Amino acid sequence: MTSATSVLDHAPVVPVVVIEDATDAVPLARALVAGGLPAIEVTLRTPAALDAIRAIAAEVPDAVVGAGTVLSARAVADAVGAGARFLVSPGWTDGLLDALEGSGVPFLPGVSTASEVVALLERGVREMKFFPAEAAGGTAYLKSLAGPLPRARFCPTGGISLASAPAYLRLPNVGCVGGTWMLPGDALAGRNWSRVEALAREASALRS
């Protein structure tokens, strides 16, 4: 059984990155790593995503680059082939979970209900993505899961901000949170990597 415990423990925040231009991948990753956020989830939402993962894996050795929005067995194979060191999905099916388990790298399948959590626990999966976190009930929902399902551990993602992240990180069943607030659109458009680094440093200082 491949777990994602190491992903949950790298830093309090995992940046969720959408890369449109693969040439931005390396300087962006370097800025995030310099700011103290080494685990970087590159979402498979753009044609540049796999090339971005490939570049980060090859040129930013201190980064732990992963693939997000993994929706199929093909995507699992492509991401791992590009160098992804962990995989994240917004949800799961039995077929996708089989592929994730066979990938050889840590993974976080997405859940938003207690039944989905129980089903994953039955399969031996204890680390999960809680998505979409704010829309699915936020900290109150996760707190309510901790009592009956203490073995489950989460990375909540979706709608989380610098202001709301500490409340999530204080929960006993949360290892880290995923977010995009350290990647503002104007900074990315202007390739203002120093600003990204400063925002990453602020996020990395969060403690549970």
The residue whose two tokens read 């390739």 is 191
Q: Is residue 112 pLDDT above 90, yes or no?
A: yes
Q: Is residue 22 pLDDT above 80, yes or no?
A: yes
Instruction: Respond yes or no: is residue 197 known to be catalytic.
Output: no
117-140 average pLDDT score: 97
130-151 average pLDDT score: 98
Q: Is residue 5 pLDDT above 90, yes or no?
A: no
Ramachandran class of 154: left when φ > 0, alpha when ψ lies in -120 to 50, beta otherwise: beta
- Tokens for 186, please give them: 């104007």
Q: Are 84 and 53 in contact (CB under 8 A)?
A: yes
Instruction: Respond yes or no: is residue 129 known to be catalytic.
Output: yes
Query: What integer best gives the mean pLDDT of the chain?
Result: 95
Q: Is residue 208 pLDDT above 60, yes or no?
A: no
Instruction: Give the whole-angstrom CA distance, residue 161 versus residue 205.
Output: 14
Describe the strand order of the beta sheet including 110-111 as a list of residue ranges.
110-111, 127-130, 153-156
Q: Which amino acid is at 36?
A: G
Q: Is residue 150 pLDDT above 90, yes or no?
A: yes
Which residue in the list 20, 41, 134, 143 is annotated as catalytic? 41
Could you tell me the pLDDT band of residue 10, with boundaries at 50, 70 and 90?
A: confident
According to the model, what pLDDT value does residue 6 have? 65
Name the pTM for this structure: 0.95
State residue 106 phi and psi, 5-degree precision: -60, 150
159-170 average pLDDT score: 97
Could you tell me the pLDDT band of residue 2, with boundaries at 50, 70 and 90?
A: very low
45-49 average pLDDT score: 98
Q: Which residues in 44-166 belong to E strands, given as ranges?
A: 64-68, 87-88, 107-108, 110-111, 127-130, 153-156
93-106 average pLDDT score: 97
Which residue in the list 20, 101, 122, 129 is annotated as catalytic? 129
Helix-strand-coil split of the chain, %, nearest 5 = 40, 15, 40
